[in-house]
Amino acid sequence: MAEVALDRESGGGPLRAMGGVIATPELATLRTAGSQAPGFGIRGWIRVLLADIRRDWQLYVLLAPMIIWFAVFLYTPMYGLQIAFKQYSLFRGIDGSPWVGFSNFVTLFNNEYFLRAIKNTLLISFYSLVFAFPMPVILALMFNEIQHNGFRKIAQTITYLPHFISVVIIAGLVINFLSPSSGIVNVLLAKMGFEKIYFLTIPDYFRPIFIGSNIWKEAGFESIIYLAAIAGINPALYESARIDGASRWQMMRYITIPSILPTVVIMLIIRIGNMIEVGFEYIVLLYQPATFETADVIATFIYRAGLQNNQYSIGAAAGLFNAVVAFILVYGANRLSRRVSQTSLW
Amino acid sequence: MSSVHVRDLKKSYGHAPVLHGISLDIEDGEFVILVGPSGCGKSTLLRMIAGLEGVTAGEIRIGSRVVNNVPPKERDIAMVFQNYALYPHMTVAENMAFSLVLKRASKAEITQKVQQAAAILGLETMLDRHPKELSGGQRQRVAMGRAIVRDPKVFLFDEPLSNLDAKLRVQMRSEIKALHQRLKTTTIYVTHDQIEAMTMADRIVVMRGGVMEQMGTPLDLYDQPANLFVASFIGSPAMNQIPGSIGAKGFVADTGHVLPLPTSAVAQIGRSAVYGIRPEHMTLEPSGMPVRVKTVEPTGSETLLLTELSGPQTSIDITAVFRGRVAAAPGDTIHLQPDMAMVHLFDKETGHRIMA
């Protein structure tokens, strides 16, 4: 086929991997100019795709496991999303259950616990944004200022390590540290003459504990991206600044921080896009009914409603709501990122 | 403005010596170019003068002050870097004003100095632009502007033109020279391009392997190269080098050909030597050495001939340049006659010059 030959001449490596999507105007022109022009619309697209698959079937074989994984575990279960609009019964099955329109959503939004979960989700995300988001940036700036190579490596490794510990173990550590009987915090409090505090049962302490331990676990690892951004700064800028008379602090202020700002902005936008996603497992491991008031988030609400209380339709409705909001946030963040930093995910 | 004096300057990285004891004196207002191949230590020397590299041994003085342990900002120098080192997030004006802002100069002074520098460099209309919106030549000018506003004692340039295309390089070369003539600030300039060195410098320092090979005016270096390295480095195309020995009737090349020598060389009869003659110092004469033309490169204004001088055992490539056009074709045999007054002789072993 003429288009195949043209494709090869244009060196369209990445194009092939894109399943026949015409990615460059030049190629589009070449293709439609070919003797076997595929035409427009879905049929043309399918024809190009089939031609691509025939030619580069090895690449598609490599891609297949991922596509199958998506299809089986992410797209097929979406069929079940319809129970958000049904009065689902285990015995009647998904198809047999009667449609109830938006009544599950009405129930949900009349449920004060769900509204509380939304509030908690947003508050935990907001406090994380305020307190946890700047930490890796600050850490990276501090690592960058360490002059002794060996000491810097040790400091970095120590801060990276908690990231590799399972969240279950982290929760275990936190529970142990804060235990009223043998936890080191309470032991110290007792030694200093204070009363022991059962931290994990007091709602007011939940958010600081959750966010604080998350900072301890992730800040070091997240600082890698900022360290990479710092490593990309032209060293001549610092030399030039030294000659211009800048102190180390001024170099950080006038060179390092402005240079990594685009990265910070992108990370911030991505974080805002994920605001509705709060570490579900970690909350489930740390919270208890006494702290639901501040700890119960949308994800834990769905888990309890859907799986523990067998309110499948309510759980599905809450999950769908969560997904729609998350989608809007991610989409919005992506558009914002494209506008602010000319970088976007799609 | 200030003089710069370097005494027995040495630099090592760990156990690897980079500079082996450099001494040079740069006069007030002089334009000195450090030139040499990659890795010769010229940039290291410049960076040591700037204070960006520590001194292993020796002494650097700016004016009468020893600056070995003085931080860069207190040396009263300004440096222009190879890749310009403009702050990408600052506008042209902010880039130029940065050193003054750090010095806490008044707003009026900053504006006045930036405007003045911009006027000198023709940057008045670009003050609000960011570096990414400028062409290579404009960025280079901003980098110079940043140096000018500081009104330093010494300008340091580290291969400032190597990122520019050939045409722009020629233009910037004359701009830098004109700038120096206007400001009369002591300037030390590093390049690996000998044409840049020849056209801009008051004096050139030729370096190789961390050692200063020769220091002198461009024409001194061209006319009286101290050794084979300088002879081959300065001048383009490079000087022809014909190994052989000094005989009673002239220089006997290894190919067996006898080349003319000035009478002053007769005293050295029998000595193994290298006969140096620049491509532009030969004429076409029937009595000259017979060479076979390999390639003809006409540039319009002149013609470059790459030829071969063949002997029974060895052959030597000879390059010749003639003004105008030469009616020669590859494969032809022509006769090249060296201009006796322009012949250089170097010791074969040491490479040192053996004839004035």
Query: Which of B89, B90, B114, B154 should one mutate to test binding to chain A, selecting the residue with the greatest count of A CBs within 10 A?
Result: B89
The predicted structure's pLDDT at residue A13:
38
Q: Which of B214, B32, B70, B206 is nearest to B59 (CA)?
A: B70
What letter does residue B352 receive in the DSSP assignment?
B
Q: Is A138 helix (H, G, I), strand (E, B) or coil?
A: helix
In this structure, are A207 and A318 located in the same domain?
yes
- Phi and psi of A114, rounded to 5°? -70, -45
pLDDT tens-digit profile of A301-335?
Answer: 989 888 888 889 999 999 899 889 988 988 888 88
Average pLDDT over residues A221-231: 94
Q: Is the per-residue pLDDT at A233 higher than 50? A: yes
Do the domain assignments include residue A220?
Answer: yes
The predicted structure's pLDDT at residue A63:
95
In this structure, are A43 and A157 located in the same domain?
no
Shortest distance between the Cα of B203 and any Cα of chain A, in A, equals: 25
Residue type, A123: L
Q: Which of B154, B186, B152, B172 is nearest to B30 (CA)?
A: B186
User: Residue for token digits 């300037």?
Assistant: B187
Do the domain assignments include residue A14?
Answer: yes
Percent of chain A whose predicted confidence (pLDDT) is above 90 = 62
Distance of alpha carbon B103 from alpha carbon B97, whole angstroms:
10
In this structure, are A29 and A170 located in the same domain?
no
Contacts of B26 (CB under 8 A, 6+ apart): B3, B4, B5, B32, B186, B188, B203
Residues of A in contact with B52 (CB under 8 A): 239, 242-243
Residues of A in contact with B83 (CB under 8 A): 234, 236
pLDDT tens-digit profile of A57-98?
Answer: 999 999 999 999 999 999 999 999 999 999 998 899 899 999
Radius of gyration of chain A (CA): 27
CB nearest to A240's CB, from B85, B89, B103: B85
The predicted structure's pLDDT at residue A276:
84
- A239 touching B, CB under 8 A? yes
Give Cα B176 to chain centroid, integer Å: 15
Average pLDDT over residues A123-133: 93
pLDDT tens-digit profile of B233-290?
Answer: 999 899 999 999 998 888 999 999 999 888 777 777 888 999 999 999 999 999 899 9
Output the DSSP codes for A31-86.
HHHSTT---SHHHHHHHHHHHHHHHTHHHHHHHHHHHHHIIIIIIGGGGGGGGGGB
Percent of chain B whose predicted confidence (pLDDT) is above 90 = 76
Shortest distance between the Cα of A130 and any Cα of chain B, in A, equals: 25
Distance of alpha carbon B22 from alpha carbon B8, whole angstroms:
5
CB B87 within 8 Å of CB A254? yes
In this structure, are A45 and A131 located in the same domain?
no
Distance of alpha carbon A279 from alpha carbon A293, whole angstroms:
17
The predicted structure's pLDDT at residue A39:
58
The predicted structure's pLDDT at residue A34:
41
Residues of A in contact with B51 (CB under 8 A): 242-243
Q: Is A179 helix (H, G, I), strand (E, B) or coil?
A: coil
In this structure, are A222 and A289 located in the same domain?
yes
In this structure, are A141 and A284 located in the same domain?
yes
User: Taking the model in full, what pTM does it have?
Assistant: 0.76
Residue with the bigger pLDDT between A277 and A205: it is A205
In this structure, are A56 and A166 located in the same domain?
no
Contacts of B309 (CB under 8 A, 6+ apart): B242, B253, B255, B257, B289, B290, B291, B315, B316, B317, B318
CB contact under 8 A, B102 and A250: yes
Distance of alpha carbon B110 from alpha carbon B149, whole angstroms:
8
Distance of alpha carbon B200 from alpha carbon B120, whole angstroms:
19
CATH of the domain at A307: 1.10.3720.10
In this structure, are A77 and A107 located in the same domain?
no
Q: Is the per-residue pLDDT at A245 higher than 80? A: yes
User: Sheet holding B4-13: strands in order across?
Assistant: B16-26, B4-13, B57-62, B65-66
- A45 touching B, CB under 8 A? no
In this structure, are A81 and A146 located in the same domain?
no
CB nearest to A259's CB, from B77, B85, B89: B89
In this structure, are A109 and A248 located in the same domain?
yes
Tokens of B319: 């390059």
Shortest distance between the Cα of B277 and any Cα of chain A, in A, equals: 42
How many residues does this entry show for chain B? 356
The predicted structure's pLDDT at residue A334:
83
Looking at the structure of chain A, the number of domains it has is 2
In this structure, are A48 and A139 located in the same domain?
no
Do the domain assignments include residue A193?
Answer: yes
The predicted structure's pLDDT at residue B227:
94
Structural domain harbouring A189: 103-341
Residue ranges for chain B with pLDDT beneath 50: none
Number of other CB atoms surrounding residue A16 within 10 Å = 16
Q: Is the per-residue pLDDT at A117 higher than 80? A: yes
Q: Is the per-residue pLDDT at A336 higher than 50? A: yes
Do the domain assignments include residue A91?
Answer: no
The predicted structure's pLDDT at residue B355:
64
Shortest distance between the Cα of B23 and any Cα of chain A, in A, equals: 24
Tokens of A61: 């074989």
In this structure, are A62 and A120 located in the same domain?
no
Contacts of B293 (CB under 8 A, 6+ apart): B305, B306, B307, B328, B329, B330, B331, B332, B333, B334
- B337: β partners: B283
Percent of chain A whose predicted confidence (pLDDT) is above 70 = 88
- Rama region for A37: left / alpha / beta (φ>0; ψ in -120 to 50; rest): beta
Q: Is the per-residue pLDDT at A236 higher than 70? A: yes
CA A29-A32-A36 angle, to 5 degrees, is 145
* CA-to-CA separations, A241 to A248, A316, B3, B115, in angstroms, rounded: 9, 57, 24, 21
pLDDT tens-digit profile of A14-65?
Answer: 333 333 343 444 444 444 444 445 557 889 999 999 999 999 999 999 999 9
CB nearest to A237's CB, from B72, B85, B102: B85
